[in-house]
Amino acid sequence: MPGTETNMSSKQYIRSLVFLMAFPIAFLASGQNLVRNCQFESMQSCPNASGQINKCRHWISPGEGTPDFVHSCNNGNVGVPNNIWGYQEARSGSAYVNIISYSILSANREYREYVCGILDCDMQAGMVYDVSFYLSCADGSHYAVDGIGAWFSAEIPVQGGSNSDEVIDIGGAPHISSPDGIANVNKEDWVKIEGSYTAQGGERFITIGNFKYNSNLTLHDFTSWSANIASYYIDDVSVVPREAVIDLGPDTTICPGSSITFDVENLCNNVELVWEDGSTELTRTITEPGTYGIGGFIGCSNFYEEVTISFPPEPGFFLPGDTVICPGRIIEIPSEGSYASYQWHDGSEDPDYIADTEGTYWLTVTDDYGCHYTDTLVIEGLSDPVFDLGPDTIFCLGQSIRLDPGIDSSFHSFLWNDNSRGIVRVISDSGVYWLRVSNPCGEMTDTIMIGTFNCDPAFEAPNAFTPNADGLNDVFKLKAENISNFSMFIFDRWGTMIFESNQIDDGWDGKFRGQVVASGTYVWMAVYNTSPADGQSQRVKTRGLVTVLR
């Protein structure tokens, strides 16, 4: 990769050229919904009663009206799909809002509910925006009305009336509206309300509701319903500019050593922009080739815009890759390509170099344009491999041994007697094992013999003996292998201990206090520690019967 140091690892480049380019980023781009929380999914907390629009993030009531936030997290009156206004699945996700767009409260009262949301980017003067939202008349509505629409403003609108919960007077029709004279009667499906809006500039709030006074409304009467309201669900609000949100321009080529600057100072005020490297600076200067991107969360979704910055094709010279040198040998380091001049680390100026020692070698070349490039080669000293697998050994069955030559180098290769190529091998069976290690300087083979034996404890006890001094079977002894810390006890039938020993080779001669005991059956007990192959010693107590015969 390009660099400025000449003593680093291989493939470092330097070019002498300085040039600066700077231009502003074009603002706004198609396809990005500017409405934050456009599906009403994000919430401060789960609603548990009507009138809690404040629990829906980024949406408010512009007055004293009490629009409702309904979410599937609630299993009661403000749930989805069941709630106090009826049954309706969310058009997308698991939430929506409910507003009352007409209500008979008194002869002089024109009650309205509105929801007001913020746009992440202020609207630009003369810019065209495609606007839409979805509407469904609630099951509990006695009435349906026309004229439900969306209105854009630079400030949060003021809801009028003596109680601040009546019609918002916008001085005319909303910017986007359902058709006049046709009441929105659909209680089964979601109906899309859509249109386009050419901004005046600076608008940053969208308000949705019924902006008509009662005298101008078209009413539809659902005679089977008793609630004297027109209630509507709203979901999926969208405000999409027809031009780009962020455009970094076309992919660009710059010379090594030059730069290009991107200025994002005049982007959306409500958005934190993040470059692909995590920086949030509004101005960024690029000096290296690569793909650079900027993104953030605008409105209802993430966006990301990127541009690729390239250098002209490299001139095509490289030194060979890092290598090793053996004692008493030399390495020829060729350079590729044709250049105006060459200079090695020691000042020599030939295209090629002969190395006879380990170290770091670098070459700087100058092309016909006066540009300088540097490449580095590291040569590591190496000798014949030397290792030892250890002495011949034995171990218990069930155990294993790790054979490790103690060599770990990318310049070595390993071959075991079973044709495996790993550095380390774990052995659990007896046999003859060998390892051959080779490198560019030579090779070595070492062999080890491994044996195994049974380390598990074994125990055997006779069931009778004849202490008659005839030299045959005169003593009662226990036979055991792979045990330790041994003790044996003999008891008569009344439980009296008549013999005790802690030596496995000591036996009972059938006497108690110097006198031969009577014929019959006696109880023996042995206590000892096991010495298994897994090394987990256990204290064992065992017992049995032995018969004294005459």
**Residue-level length of the chain:** 550
Contact 217, 147 (CB under 8 A): yes
> Which amino acid, 496?
T
Q: Which two tokens stand for residue 228?
A: 């004297």
**DSSP 8-state secondary structure symbol assigned to residue 358:** -
- Site of tokens 């659902």: 222
| C-alpha dihedral sign at 182, 186, 187, 191 | negative
Exposure class string for 507-517: b at 16+ Cβ within 10 A, else e: bbebebeeeeb
**Strand partners of residue 306:** 293
Residue 298 burial by Cβ neighbours in a 10 Å radius (0-12, 13-18, 19+)? buried
pLDDT digit of tens for each residue in the chain (550 aa)?
333 333 323 333 333 223 333 333 434 445 789 999 999 999 999 999 999 999 999 999 999 899 999 999 999 999 999 999 999 999 999 999 999 999 887 556 789 999 999 998 889 899 999 999 999 999 999 999 999 999 999 999 988 777 788 999 998 999 999 999 999 999 999 999 999 999 999 999 999 999 999 999 999 999 766 678 999 999 999 999 998 767 788 898 777 887 889 887 666 767 788 999 999 888 899 999 999 999 888 888 888 889 999 887 777 667 888 889 999 899 898 888 888 889 999 999 999 999 999 999 999 887 765 667 889 999 999 889 999 999 999 887 778 899 999 987 778 999 999 999 999 999 989 999 999 999 999 999 999 999 887 777 777 889 999 998 888 898 998 888 888 888 999 999 898 999 999 988 888 999 999 888 999 999 999 998 876 655 577 888 888 899 998 7
State the Cα–Cα distance between residues 92 and 109, nearest whole angstrom.
Answer: 35
Do the strands 115-118 and 59-60 form a parallel or antiparallel pair, or are they unpaired? antiparallel
Show the beta-strand stretches assigned E in 77-175: 82-83, 86-87, 95-103, 115-118, 128-137, 143-145, 148-153
Contacts 24+ apart (CB under 8 A), 504-510: 504/478, 504/480, 505/477, 506/477, 507/475, 507/476, 507/477, 508/475, 508/476, 508/477, 509/467, 509/474, 509/475, 510/465, 510/467, 510/474, 510/475, 510/476, 510/548
Q: Which two tokens stand for residue 232?
A: 């509507």
State the Cα–Cα distance between residues 157 and 168, nearest whole angstrom.
Answer: 7
Q: pTM higher than 0.85 for the full model?
A: no
- Site of tokens 């829906």: 56
**DSSP 8-state secondary structure symbol assigned to residue 42:** -
**Strand partners of residue 489:** 500, 525
Q: Which two tokens stand for residue 253?
A: 């080529």
3-state SS class at 216: helix
